[in-house]
Structure 1
Amino acid sequence: MKHALNPSTPHAAAWKARAMAALRADSSLSVRLARYNAAMARARQIEDAGVAV
């Protein structure tokens, strides 16, 4: 039985990398945390959509 690859996995990984980069940015803590949370929320959304498909 063949299993299809989940194309959202690399996309979610890219958003997680973006979230980690947001933490290391040269911005205030509140801005870094907001950007991190937004990117991680997007990554979770992509992962959840991939599981539902």
Structure 2
Amino acid sequence: MTVLIPSKIHALAHRRMALSALHADSSLAVRLKRYNHRIALVRALQPQGGVQ
């Protein structure tokens, strides 16, 4: 049985949003800002759930 860990799910979702931010139809500065924001959220979730 697979156990769903909420922080792991959130981290995965934020990683995917970060990658999609890089491919968005926006300026490079905006894409980088959005990517860095999402990755910061992923890093904040890591200690909570042991996400790797």
Give the TM-score category using the shorter length. Answer: 0.7 to 0.9
Asked whether 1:14 is paired with 2:13, we answer: yes
The list of structure 1 runs, each at least 4 consecutive aligned residues, that deviate by more than 3 angstroms after superposition, is: none
How many residues were matched structurally? 48
Tell me the distance in 1 between the aligned counterparts of 2:14 and 2:4: 18
Aligned residue for 1:42? 41
Tell me the distance in 1 between the aligned counterparts of 2:4 and 2:22: 30
TM-score by length of 1: 0.79
Larger Rg: 1
* CA root-mean-square deviation: 1.4
Between the aligned residues of both structures, percent identity stands at: 48
